[in-house]
Amino acid sequence: MIVDILISAFLVISGIFGLVGSVGLIKLPHPMMRLHAPTKATTLGVGGALIASLLYFYFVAGRFSYHELMITLFLFLTAPITGNFIAKVHIHRHETRDSLPSTGSERPWATFESDEDRIRAEGHEL
Amino acid sequence: MDILLPVIAALPFLGALLPGLMIRAGRATCASYTALSSGLAFLLLLICAPTVMQGEVLHFRLDWLPALGLNVTFMLDGLGLLFAGLIIGIGLLIILYARYYLSHDDPMGQFYTYLLLFQGAMVGIVLSDNILLLLVFWELTSLSSFLLIGYWTHLPEGRQGARMALTVTGLGGLAMIAGMLILGNIAGSYDISVILTQGEAIRDSEMYVPALLLILLGAFTKSAQFPFHFWLPHAMAAPTPVSAYLHSATMVKAGLFLMARLWPVLSGTPEWFYIVATTGLVTMIIGAVIALFKDDLKALLAFSTVSHLGLITMLLGFGTKMAAVAAVFHIINHATFKAALFMTAGIIDHEAHSRDIKRLGGLRRLMPVTFVIATVASLSMAGIPLLNGFLSKEMMLEEAVHTVWMGSYYMMPALATLGALFSVAYSFRYIVHVFLGPVRDDYPGHPHDPGFGMWAAPALLVVAVVAIGVAPFLAEPLVRTTAHAVIGGELPEFHLKIWHGVTPALFLSGTAVIGGAVLLAAHAPLMRGWLAAPRPEAKVMFDATARGATRLSGWLSDSMHNGSLTRFAAIFTITVVAAGLWAWGGAGIGAPERTMLPIRALPAVGWLVLIVSTGCLIAFHRNRLLALVLLAGVGLSVSMAFVYLSAPDLALTQISVEVVTIILLLLALNFLPKTTPIESSTMRRLRDAALAIVGGVAVSALTYAILIRDFAFDSISAFHLANSYKGGGGHNVVNVILVDFRGFDTYGEITVLGIAALVIFALTDTVLRGPGGRWLVRWGAGTDEAGDRHPLMMVVATRVMMPIALLVGVYIFLRGHNEPGGGFIAGLVVAIALLMQYMASGFAWAEARQRTPYHALIAAGVLIASLTGVGAWLAGRPFLTSDYGYITLPPLEKFEWATAMGFDLGVFLTVVGAVMLALNSLSSMARRRGETINIYPMDINPERPDSPPPPPTGPGGEKET
């Protein structure tokens, strides 16, 4: 009974976060903001469903399922990289070196630093 | 002794390797070594001769492709013995003659190589006991004679003559292939010895006439029978030894040989008589008439050859046994006197520097030896008593007298005598206009007799001419044996002798001689008339036809094959749809046998994704990156469909292939424009759209029609399921099919894959060295590229993934035989693991860490697969038979091994090598474009201080993260 409630709760939470993520993807005004929406959906939305599945297999089906852990691992590996790349693309298409906030050091944002600049800053030879 | 047959056939081919090597040791050495191989073959033939002369037939058999009926079977009977003897014997004389004929500027090694190749092909024809093998040799003679005729490549006439000969004989050869196949089909065997026993069945078959026509087409073109006679005179542009060889004893006799060989089977019907005898008669007369009016010595001899070939063809066409005997006898006689005549023509050309009869005359005193040889040979050709030509011509006239043609008793003898009359005229002309008459003082050269080496060969032939003429009984055993082989049954009662008493043939012969002499006396006015009369010029007609055919095929292929992919696709689509419609309209299809299944939600969603992705792909295909993303969507939907339909192997393969292709294409996009420009007009695109819709609808309709019906035949899956473990030792039927049931397919596929990868590598390499490479440099790196091309997060993640991915690859490989997986998928997975490193850390950085060259991986893969296949031979089983068993290694459970694993390893290595080599090609393009080589795996590394820099640890120092 308690298990059923728990599983249901996780499923509902995952559903809510999935919905919020999807709505955000449509509604948020700026690409960099929109980047946040699917991140939430993947972490908590899919995460909730995975926990629910884990509980279900352990308590109801009576065996421990590793698959969910693997899925979690791969999600955590891929989501940030995807986000990183989308952000980079956005910066290149819509921002310039000067329109971005300062990095607080002499050097610019990494994605705007040319090979020559980097060599000069770090002082090594190619 | 049977074993000698293939050796005789092979000796000239093996000998053909020698002249090219030996020419460095001098011309005499070269000629001697050429003669050595021919002489050896002749010797072996002589060893066989006594047995054959006693009436035995030698057979040799070696199965080559028994399933096709194509076997290396040789047979030596009387006919083969005669022809092989002529080919090799006269070949030896030609080798001697050519040694002195060819000038120092002519590449002699090449000449002898071609000559021996030709000799080998001819010997092959006459020894073959299999018509398919015979066809192989037949085509070889066409090819090698092409090389010989065009030997003087600097002469346009030589090249054109060679081309004409090849075209005409080659076309005839094509027709003959069809005819031979029909013949073999009727007889039920392609072995000549079997076909010869099936005469009745073949003549009664309704396919007899088509087979006869096609075979005769081949024989007539080869033997220069009217109306295909025109190539032979043009082939005279060849050096005289070639003419003497090809046109007296060998090439043109191949057609006669074939008619003689198949004589017992094909002859004896009205069709045979009227086609062959009439063609022979017409050829004999036309050839003789034209020969009389040719001023070029070799042209005269060429047309006289045409005429004599017609004579022999006519005799074979008569279909009577005695005529066949006469044909055989005339083949021998013609070979001797005609080879001698060609050689004398060559001598005259060589010494007087002209072959034009109008510029010659009076050579009797200047070249006495040549005069004697040429006169004897010419008189024999004219049919003067005490020379061998007389005997066979007499027999021919005798046969003509007994032949009824179209209900007329007089037609045949009259026309045959007319032919003989012209033959006498041109033979006399060869003597009178060249050698007799006053000595002139305006010869282009200084005519004198050549050295012994050059006249020895024709002299020897002339000795044979006289010997047979005076003592015909000398040739009788050979004629009997040969005629026996041709007729294939009882010989008619005959004796070769000079005096047959006062017969009609003697009268006709006398008429011909007197008429011929009269004709020659009236030659000058006749010649004027001939030159004034309009004559069809064969070369002009041939050239016009060839030009027309070239233009037609050029138009056809250019309009279909203009390099436009859309056009190929359009032609293909239209053809396939039309063929489908035709098939559907023909038999129609039966009523549907299956009911529709309900549509479930999950497949419906998958279908929708597929359709939407495809639709979007059409809409956005000009944006290449977007098109690629949509393509990936289609691919993933298809893999999902495989999962849903319980095909895990296919799904795994599809996903990994999808990933590899998309990554490679993404990398390739770097070197392409970002969008596809619009290149075709609206109308054209509308047309293409209509075609695409028609094609799509047709395929859908076909699929639908198949899906709602049961299979017409039992599927083979039951066999695979039943035998997968029993025969292949694996529970995964898909994998067992790949590595065992259809292992040979897979073997071919990995080879093709390896070749494709190597081709990509070679192409890239070539492109980079050429204008493409310069263009890449000019184009330069993209202006809008990220500064940190190798971001930290990505690099770290791929590092973490690398061992996991490799382990997955190994796991998939090992379980492959019994569970979903296998070498192909494992190869792709490992390739993806490596691809990730290239993508994240940069081409150069990853390449510096790659220790095995990918070429070697491909080679190792194919080699391992081959060795696994060959291993089965050691166990006495066919190639690629697999075996399996069980092994217990202490720390592990008992596990199964299968030889298929070795094969799968080969597949694995080839796939990895091929994918990585393709990537390597892309990387070298990037390098050429000026992409810098990164030393560090990632551009920004928090561990690296801003300054001062740590000394780079070199290519091995990647463990700095």
Instruction: Among A113, A122, A125, select the one facing B788 at the smallest CB separation.
Output: A113
Quick one: three-class SS letters along B725-786?
HHHHCCCCHHHHHHHHHCHHHHHHHHHHHHHHHHHHHHHHHHHHHCHHHHHHHHHCCCCCCC
Note whether A114 contacts B: Cβ–Cβ < 8 A: yes
| Structure confidence at residue B958 (pLDDT) | 41
Chain B neighbors of A78, CB-CB under 8 A: 797
Cβ–Cβ of B932/A77 closer than 8 Å? Answer: no
pLDDT tens-digit map of B581-620: 888 887 777 788 888 889 899 899 999 999 999 999 989 9
Distance CA A125, CA B914 (A): 35
Residue ranges of alpha helices (H) inside B262-382 are: 263-266, 270-272, 278-292, 297-318, 321-352, 363-366, 368-382
Instruction: Among A84, A112, A121, select the one facing B946 at the smallest CB separation.
Output: A121
pLDDT range class, residue A124, cuts 50, 70, 90: low
Other beta carbons within 10 Å of B896: 14
Cβ–Cβ of A77/B797 closer than 8 Å? Answer: yes
Instruction: Among A111, A124, A125, select the one facing B787 at the smallest CB separation.
Output: A111
| Structure confidence at residue B678 (pLDDT) | 84
pLDDT range class, residue B959, cuts 50, 70, 90: very low
Chosen from A70, A74, A81 to mutate, greatest number of chain B CBs within 10 A: A81
Distance CA B666, CA A90 (A): 19
* Residue contacts between A and B (CB atoms, under 8 Å): 56
Report the predicted TM-score, pTM, of the whole model to 2 decimal places: 0.69
Mean pLDDT of B719-740: 84
* Residue A117 confidence (pLDDT) above 80: no
pLDDT tens-digit map of B103-143: 888 888 888 999 999 999 999 999 999 999 999 999 999 99
Q: What Rg, from alpha-carbon coordinates, does chain A have?
A: 21
pLDDT tens-digit map of B253-307: 899 999 999 998 888 888 899 999 999 999 999 999 999 888 888 889 989 999 9
Measure A52 CA to nearest chain B CA, in Å: 22
Q: Do β-strands B58-65 and B70-76 pair in parallel, antiparallel, or remain unpaired?
A: antiparallel
pLDDT tens-digit map of B528-544: 888 888 888 888 888 89
Cβ–Cβ of B786/A123 closer than 8 Å? Answer: no
Instruction: Among B793, B935, B947, select the one facing A80 at the smallest CB separation.
Output: B793
Measure A80 CA to nearest chain B CA, in Å: 8
| Structure confidence at residue B176 (pLDDT) | 93
Note whether A112 contacts B: Cβ–Cβ < 8 A: yes
In the chain, the amino acid numbered B572 is F
User: Average pLDDT of chain B?
Assistant: 86
pLDDT tens-digit map of B782-832: 556 777 778 888 888 888 889 999 999 999 998 887 888 888 999 999 999
Measure A111 CA to nearest chain B CA, in Å: 4
Distance CA B70, CA B182 (A): 15
Mean pLDDT of B81-85: 91
Q: Which two tokens stand for residue B451?
A: 């050295």
**Is the interface score ipTM higher than 0.95?**
no
| Structure confidence at residue B781 (pLDDT) | 55
Instruction: Among B787, B950, B952, select the one facing A110 at the smallest CB separation.
Output: B787
Delimit the domains of chain A by residue range: 2-94, 98-126
- To the nearest whole percent, how much of chain B has pLDDT over 90? 29
Cβ–Cβ of B939/A110 closer than 8 Å? Answer: yes
Cβ–Cβ of A111/B786 closer than 8 Å? Answer: yes
Mean pLDDT of B919-930: 81
Measure B952 CA to nearest chain A CA, in Å: 8
Return the minimum-mean-pLDDT range out of B67-76, B204-213, B925-934.
B925-934
Most confident of A3-17, B480-494, B551-565, B708-722: A3-17
Cβ–Cβ of A123/B948 closer than 8 Å? Answer: yes
Instruction: Among B787, B933, B944, select the one facing A112 at the smallest CB separation.
Output: B787
Measure B927 CA to nearest chain A CA, in Å: 15
| Structure confidence at residue B857 (pLDDT) | 92
Other beta carbons within 10 Å of B698: 17
Note whether A103 contacts B: Cβ–Cβ < 8 A: no
Distance CA B880, CA B847 (A): 35
Which residue in B729, B704, B670 sits closest to B925, CA to CA? B670
Which residue in B125, B135, B129, B130 sits closest to B250, CA to CA? B125
Half-sphere exposure of A32 (CA within 13 A, CB side): 9
| Structure confidence at residue B248 (pLDDT) | 74
pLDDT range class, residue B887, cuts 50, 70, 90: confident
